[in-house]
Amino acid sequence: MAFLTDRKRAVNWGSAKAGTEHFWKMKIQSVGLLFLVPLFVFTFGPILGSSYEEVIAYYSRPFPAIVAGLTILVTCIHFKDGFQTLVEDYVHGLWEKVLILGMTCLMYALAATGLFAVARLAL
């Protein structure tokens, strides 16, 4: 066993089988956020500091509401995936599963709350 090469030791261990898919998913989310965050800033900025009635009227239009909803959703999913990668790389054992499950639940709850708030403003 001491004379085995690194390649021979790795044979039949397989791969995680999801690394490339996860990489591309994160890249697509990053490009989406590259467009969504400036759009959100430019749609949210003009209404900042306005009265409640003006905010309701502003977010009753479809474009600001859709931009806000997409930004909230993509940001939460991107954060969840990035945190999962971080935990998988540096935490092992039971805490790995606990942290990933906890952050997944927290991010989906945050996304649902944000989308509900935008829907309440828009409708």
**Structural domains of the chain, ranges and CATH numbers in brackets:** 26-122 (1.20.1300.10)
DSSP state, residue 92? -
For Cα atoms 43, 46, 50, give the angle at the middle one, nearest 5 degrees: 120
CB 114 within 8 A of CB 72: yes
Give the per-residue pLDDT at 51.
Answer: 96
Q: What is the pLDDT of residues 33-49, one digit of tens each?
A: 999 999 999 999 999 99
Cα–Cα distance measured from residue 25 to residue 66, given in angstroms and rounded to the nearest whole number? 21
List, for the chain, all residue ranges whose pLDDT scores fall below the cut of 50.
none
Residue 119's closest CA among 54, 53, 72, 50? 72
CB 46 within 8 A of CB 80: no
Give the per-residue pLDDT at 6.
Answer: 74
Cα–Cα distance measured from residue 61 to residue 122, given in angstroms and rounded to the nearest whole number? 7
Prediction pTM value: 0.84
Q: What is the pLDDT of residues 106-122, one digit of tens each?
A: 999 999 999 999 999 99
